[in-house]
Amino acid sequence: MNKQDILSSQKVGETSRLYINNNNASTLITDLKSLLKLPVLIANVLPVFTGFWLALYFSNASFNDYLGMFLLTIIGSTLVMAGALVLNNWYDVDIDSIMARTKKRPTVTGNIPLKVVLIIGIILTLLGFILLLFTTVEATIYAFIGWFTYVFLYTMWSKRKYTLNTVIGSVSGAVTPLIGWTAIASGFHIVPIILFSILFIWQMPHTFAIAMRKCEEYRAAGVAMLPVVHGFKMTKRQMLVYVACLLPLPIYLLELGTTFFVIATLLNLIWLGICINGLFMRDDEKYAYINFLYSVNYITILFLLMILVTSPVSQ
């Protein structure tokens, strides 16, 4: 079913009715969570906060003095990211109707009409950029780079055509700490550059693990993910290479202290071990699941640790 078919199935008379009249509050909340891809959205807020926090730390600035700037940065960037995710749902409705894990999204079920979804995505995006313009131009530019990359270069251009889509999509997620950092200080600093590098590299094996687990769904939907096009062996080798690229990065963050360096290095070595072992595992589903779980916990621990070791309590 293509987008035109889905649009035509949503009659004008139906779309004119208020959504809340046809669904209870629980369904509405569930649909909104799905539309906003809430877990993904929340996961992207943490790097923004970490970038902001570390910029304060390295600038010897007080959080209380920048509370207003913090609220503008977090709310503005969250709205921009939410807008991008909603627009992704709007554009991908045809392939979402094929994949089992996305068939219940409100864009597919018709609970929220596609025209409404498009309007929501645009409004969220505009509101987010308006708020970010009250922070700094640099922060707004990085937010725009992330939004444009995700909506146009990833969703609309590369996702269905090229395995390079994962690399392109990783850029949009990797700019998040730069948004937070540049609300306070210039982005031409080693710390935000390394934060970008960590997130960019991390997203590759993380996304590949998801693609391995959902390989047949992506294949059915015609999405050019690496496991679909080149198989699991090639995917495993690339995952190993990307994780290995994470190994030297903690060296550039030695200013965060010995504790951070040791823990970050240990996390990298464990992940590298998982990937090496994965080359010899026959159970690809199990390998992908282990890798996915580890990657989620890895990035959460790493970025929370950055905040913890630079908090006043730890000093």
pLDDT tens figures, 37-93: 999 999 999 999 999 999 999 999 999 999 999 999 999 999 999 999 999 999 999
Nearest Cα residue to 9 out of 86, 110, 91: 110
Task: Report all structural domains of the chain as residue ranges with CATH numbers, in order of start.
Answer: 22-188 (1.10.357.140), 189-315 (1.20.120)
pLDDT tens figures, 189-206: 999 999 999 999 999 999
Q: 3-state SS string over 75-134?
A: HHHHHHHHHHHHHHHHHCHHHHCCCHHHCCCHHHHCCCCHHHHHHHHHHHHHHHHHHHCC
Give the integer Cα–Cα distance in Å for 136 and 186: 10
**Tens-digit pLDDT string for the chain (315 aa):** 555 555 555 543 344 344 444 547 788 899 999 999 999 999 999 999 999 999 999 999 999 999 999 999 999 999 999 999 999 999 999 999 999 889 999 999 999 999 999 999 999 999 999 999 999 999 999 999 999 999 999 999 999 999 999 999 999 999 999 999 999 999 999 999 999 999 999 999 999 999 999 999 999 999 999 999 999 999 999 999 999 999 999 999 999 999 999 999 999 999 999 999 999 999 999 999 999 999 999 999 999 999 999 998 665
Give the integer Cα–Cα distance in Å for 98 and 3: 12
Radius of gyration of the chain (CA): 20
Which pairs with CB-CB distance under 8 Å and at least 24 residues apart come from 64-72?
66/184, 69/135, 69/183, 69/184, 70/183, 72/131, 72/132, 72/134, 72/135, 72/183
Question: pTM, whole model, 2 decimals?
Answer: 0.91
Buried b (16+ CB within 10 A) or exposed e, 170-204: bbbbbbbbbbbbbbbbebebebbebbbbbbbbbbb
Crossing angle between the packed helical segments 25-36 and 38-58, to the nearest 10 degrees: 60
Predicted local confidence at residue 16, as pLDDT: 38
Q: Which residues lie closer than 8 Å to 273 by C-beta, 6 or more apart?
A: none
Q: Which residue has the tokens 């589903």?
A: 285
CB atoms under 10 Å from CB of 104, counted, come to: 13
Give the integer Cα–Cα distance in Å for 6 and 106: 12
